[in-house]
Homo-oligomer: A and B are copies of this chain.
Amino acid sequence: MRPSGVAFLLAQIGAHAAGRFADRVAGLGLTPAQVGVLRVVAQQPGLSQQALATELGVVPSKVVALVDALEHRGVLERRRDPGDRRLYALHLSVSATELLGQVREAVRQHDQELTSVLTPAERDQLAGLLRRIADAQGLKPGVHPGYRDRLGSGPEPERGPRD
């Protein structure tokens, strides 16, 4: 049982990456799940909460809390769909543009820091291999099963030194 197998390394690094990303967006006052909402709504404006739930693979009741937080923050708007007044039409507000830019920058830095030990060629190589695996495993781009939401507060298992 060599813990140096590829699958274990993937799980280990993946959890680490997710945790670090959560820390990063926590600096922007966001959780990873909220970031996912922003991304989907940015790509498909006017979406309903139900559609958002199925898109993200999340229970509708959780979408309520996510949208609540983002709306209270002023980056997301619940407009009534004029055709069907049961549905909300989700739209990003104008003030969301700046936040979205900050999120993109955080993503860029996150990616950079994680692969800083690789050369650009190696990074592309790695991306290609991973994409092939993700594709073969039937993982859709943009969604993945759930990590924890808040991984930033309090003492946690074991984390690397360089902090």
Contacts and interface: CB of A to CB of B under 8 A. Distances in A.
Contacts of A145: 15-16, 19, 151, 155-159
B131 A12 contact: no
B7 A161 contact: no
A106 to B, nearest CB: 9
Contacts of A147: 11, 15, 157, 159
B13 A127 contact: no
Contact of A142 (B31, B125, B156, B162): B162
Contacts of A2: 107
A18 interface: yes
Given A14-B18, A126-B129, A111 B56 contact: no
A117 to B, nearest CB: 4
A39 interface: yes
A133 B118 contact: yes
A91 B62 CA distance: 44
Interface string A11-29: 1111111110110000000
A1 B39 contact: yes
A108 interface: yes
